[in-house]
A and B are shown apart, each in its own frame.
Chain A
Amino acid sequence: MTSSFETTSNPIHAAHGEPLVVLENVEKHYGDFHALKNINMTVNKGEVVVVIGPSGSGKSTLCRTINRLETITSGEIRIDGKALPKEGKALAALRADVGMVFQSFNLFAHKTILENVTLGPIKVRRRAKAEAEKDARALLERVGVAVQADKMPAQLSGGQQQRVAIARSLAMKPKVMLFDEPTSALDPEMINEVLDVMVHLAAEGMTMIVVTHEMGFARKAADRVVFMADGEIVEEAAPEEFFSNPKSDRAKDFLSKLLTH
């Protein structure tokens, strides 16, 4: 190794594949408010990145710019080498490849669990109904809610709904999955059933960007932790390193509060 630069600049992504999600100089303003400041981030194929930081630091905004639920003011976002389309069919097609799991589940309230999972494959991927249902049932089995297939979302517990939401995303066979605080709205006893599904997903090689404060998940499944504060990426490191030896004062302060609560 002749260049020490190489080893220090990129010690964490080494184990993974090509860049899949790339953000370059991304800025986001809400009116006068500067929500994302010069964000540069690369997530490689198969990598699991946990985004952590105080409330209001821009984590959700970051997540939502990646499938363009939020537009950006300037900068560039590329997924699998292609810049995010501005709108229309191309944008819809891109979103089909980017799974998203919301804090509040957002299952389609007027559709059964099975229909929630098959809607995308049938309408967007144009798969035959019978085939889509077969795959959906397998996915529901995998996340442990197969018995509930014919119920309505409101009849399920929060943990079950969130697992269905994950199945709904997976049914699209996405290239990358975004999770925005997937367990924050759950009762404590349901958090683990959702995290378990996510840990499995990570182990199977899914590329994941996960906004969460669950340190257990970060330690178990993440390749890297990105710490945000005030719209900036302040620090990134491997989970163990970040939690045991944070560099920035902001991160130290944040972690001390997280641990005492």
Chain B
Amino acid sequence: MDPLINNLDIFVPAFRNTIILFVVSGVAALILGTVVGGMRVSPVPIMRGVGTVYVNFIRNTPLTLLMFFFAFGYPKLELGNLSYMTLAIIALSLYTATYVAEVIRSGFNTVPVGQAEAARAIGLPFGQTMSLVILPQAFRAVIPPLMSVFIALLKNTTVAAGFSVFEAGAIRAYLSERGEPAIVVLLWVAAIFVVLVTVLSLVQRRLENKWRVAR
């Protein structure tokens, strides 16, 4: 227990930043990804095109490269100062949103086409057909794959350590300066990640129960 207890001054703020990265990027990715997923099934060809290009371009770029672009490329654009933390959040959000978009799009396909037709037939426009009828049913089907995306996001936050963001991925480097054995520190970091993922699984189960749709 000692390597953890003796270094809480590192563990606590590092994981706090990890959780901030995760929650803020997660919410942003969920919103952006849902919009992009909607664009990809939109009746308007331009929307579909933009959505497809965005997903294919960003999703096929390694996260490290994307982070690299934001951490070193963005400051050169001189658009105003953003902290590395903020830049990491932007990169993580843009990256994760592409996965969310694909999951949401596959979720749309689980909703019978008659649901959208019935919604259109009573005069709901595209946006409301999506938000009131399709999405609430699609979300139910996408909770498990969406959780995989969020678990990946949680782990991806550690990439930010390579770009001067102080989070869980940076703990080992800080503690080796204090002479802690790397392997023990890494096991502790891993254990805390397991706890966080377990929390996510509990959230998943609750959401699944809440959004059950009987057919």
Q: Given that A87-B43, A119-B132 are known contacts, is A109 also in contact with B123, CB under 8 Å in the complex?
A: no
Which residue in chain B gives the minimum CB-CB distance to A155?
A: B214
Q: Does A92 contact B (CB under 8 A)?
A: yes
Interface size (B, Cβ < 8 Å)?
A: 23
A67 with B214, Cβ < 8 A, contacts A102-B114, A104-B114, A109-B137 known: no
Chain A nearest CB from B47 CB (Å) reads: 13
Asked if A120 is at the interface (CB within 8 A of a chain B CB), the reply is: yes
Q: Say if the beta carbon of A69 comes within 8 Å of chain B.
A: yes
Instruction: Tell me, rounded to whole Å, the shortest Cβ–Cβ distance linking A202 to chain B.
Output: 20
Closest Cβ–Cβ distance, residue A209 to chain B (whole Å)? 14
- Complex Cα distance, B136 from A89, in Å, reads 23
A120, B120: Cα distance in complex, Å: 10
Cβ A96 vs Cβ B123 within 8 A? yes
Closest to B116 in A: A106
State whether B125 touches A67 (Cβ < 8 A): no
Contacts of A114 in B (CB 8 A): none
Q: Quick check: A123 and B132 within 8 Å, CB to CB?
A: yes
Q: Which 4 A-B pairs have the closest CB atoms?
A: A96-B123, A120-B122, A106-B118, A106-B114
Which residues in B have some Cβ–Cβ distance to A below 8 Å? Answer: 43, 112, 114-115, 117-125, 128, 132-133, 136-137, 140, 211, 213-215
CB within 8 Å of B: which residues of A?
A: 67, 69, 87-89, 92-100, 102, 104, 106-110, 119-120, 123-124, 152, 154-155, 165, 168-169, 172
21 cross-chain CB contacts under 8 A: A87-B43, A88-B125, A93-B123, A94-B123, A95-B120, A95-B122, A96-B122, A96-B123, A100-B118, A102-B121, A104-B114, A106-B115, A108-B118, A109-B215, A110-B137, A119-B122, A154-B214, A155-B214, A168-B122, A169-B121, A172-B122
